[in-house]
Amino acid sequence: MTYQEHFEQIVRDQLARVEAMKEAQAAPDFAAKEKIIIGTIDGDGIGPIIMDSARQILEKLLAEDIASGRIELRPIEGLTIENRIEKMQTVPADVLAAIKECDLLLKGPTTTPGKGDGRPNLESANVTLRRELDLFANVRPVAIPEQGIDWIFYRENTEGEYALGSRGVEINDDISIDFKVTTTIGTTRLARAAFEYAKNNGNKNVSIVTKANIMKKTDGKFLSLCMDVAKDYPDIKVDDWYVDIMAANLINPLFNKNFNVVILPNLYGDIITDEAAQIQGGVGTAGSANIGGRYAMFEAIHGSAPRMVADGIAEYANPASLCRAAVMMLRHAAMAEKASKLEQALDLAADALDMPGDGTGNTAADFTDFVLKQL
């Protein structure tokens, strides 16, 4: 296939994706559902350790619902780097089929092969799942009450550079090209979700982050579409920022208290939300929601920490991020009271335990025991 044919196929695939988005299913009414299946995916590296903690905690918190059959915690096997490489599938077909039988997913971190690590060029499992399940909004809250910081980030989850990250072309030895995609539906539905959240939580300020002065077609389209949606919410204050200035202003106390809801394209959202989590106390302290229509997936925002495994200190991994994701999952599933109960226990754990993740302090087992006692 020539690179011209390759590019033509990419365009055809993206046009087909747009048509499929038009047929997307509406979100289920979890309060009315007779049974909710929560799939739990261990992932790689420290994933099984922190998922074991989260699963134990959920089993206690949801004991009555599990006993009655209203909730099922269903382990999903096979989303490991070893199995993915063996089958040469980013998400093996049998694993994806099992995932699609669930209503909600709680997922541990997965390893993505990197340039020069000797592994096949498999796409990120997260990117594939977001695309296959059409999880268009990545929602990440960050709160530091003592600093007046209350942020929630709405990151576009299925487009941008990541949608085509494994489909770039090497024209020759001198030049390589990657691609970025922005669609009207993809951006508009993200902006609508963010503005609805802002409206439902007291007309919070909304900030739109792009590099529209440079990426005029894609980021320019993203900014224009978000501003169009903003017209339907006249009571909400809206501003826009370039991503480099936003990165600086998040650590500027003269500005950062003014940010509430932030809308970002995929790549910028990935970077900025990790910065925000670090300001909160580290990526191990923050959870993440991936929201679509039919499906929703909740996960820690950090990676699989292969260095911790290699150094023999994986038992010191902090399950807080995955458990914070479980809080978001419970709220999404109309179980706000249980979500608040778990959140309070996690706040106590954050104050009481020392979990630097360097082989000192408390272990994941200590964390689990502490939270279980609070529940």
- The DSSP annotation for 249-270 comes to HTT-TTTGGG--EEEE-HHHHH
What are 121-138's pLDDT values in tens digits? 788 898 899 889 989 999
Cα dihedral sign for 314, 40, 164, 152? negative
What are 306-332's pLDDT values in tens digits? 999 999 999 999 999 999 999 999 988
pLDDT (mean) for 7-34:
86
In this predicted structure, what is the pLDDT of residue 284?
A: 62
Which of 3.40.50.620, 3.40.50.1580, 3.40.718.10, 3.40.50.300 is the CATH number of 27-135+292-375?
A: 3.40.718.10
In this predicted structure, what is the pLDDT of residue 238?
A: 98
Q: What is the DSSP string of 133-191?
A: TT--EEEEEEEEGGGTEEEEEEEE-SSBTGGGTT--EEEETTEEE---B--HHHHHHHH
* Distance in angstroms (rounded) separating the CA atoms of residues 123 and 90: 6
pLDDT over 70 at 40, yes or no: yes
In this predicted structure, what is the pLDDT of residue 103?
A: 95
Neighbouring CB atoms inside 10 A of 287's CB total: 24
283 pLDDT band, cuts 50/70/90, is: low
In the structure encoding, which two tokens stand for residue 288, read together? 């993440």
Q: What top-level class would CATH report for the domain 141-282?
A: alpha beta
CB 243 within 8 A of CB 135: no
* Distance in angstroms (rounded) separating the CA atoms of residues 239 and 227: 9
259 phi/psi in degrees, rounded to 5 = -85, 135
In this predicted structure, what is the pLDDT of residue 127?
A: 82
CB 236 within 8 A of CB 208: no
* Distance in angstroms (rounded) separating the CA atoms of residues 146 and 375: 26
The DSSP output letter for 314 is G
Q: What is the pTM assigned to this prediction?
A: 0.78
CB 110 within 8 A of CB 125: yes
* Distance in angstroms (rounded) separating the CA atoms of residues 172 and 194: 42
Give the β-pairing of 175-177 and 149-156: unpaired
What are 210-229's pLDDT values in tens digits? 999 999 999 999 999 999 99
The CB-based long-range contact list for 78-81 (8 Å cut-off, 24+ gap) reads 79/41, 79/42, 79/43, 79/107, 79/110, 79/125, 80/42, 80/43, 80/44, 80/110, 81/44, 81/110, 81/111, 81/113, 81/119
What are 85-102's pLDDT values in tens digits? 999 999 999 999 999 999
In sequence order, the 6+-apart residues with CB closer than 8 A to the CB of 109 are 43, 44, 45, 46, 47, 299, 300, 302, 303, 304, 305
The segment(s) of the chain belonging to CATH 3.40.718.10 are: 27-135+292-375, 141-282
Burial class (CB in 10 A: 0-12, 13-18, 19+), 93: exposed
In this predicted structure, what is the pLDDT of residue 156?
A: 95
Give the closest residue to 328 by CA, choosing from 281, 288, 293.
Answer: 288
The 3 state secondary structure assigned to 217-233 is CHHHHHHHHHHHHHCCC
CA 150 to chain CA mean position, Å: 18
Helix ranges (H only) for the chain are: 3-21, 47-61, 63-68, 81-87, 93-99, 125-132, 184-200, 218-230, 243-249, 266-280, 306-310, 320-332, 336-352, 364-374
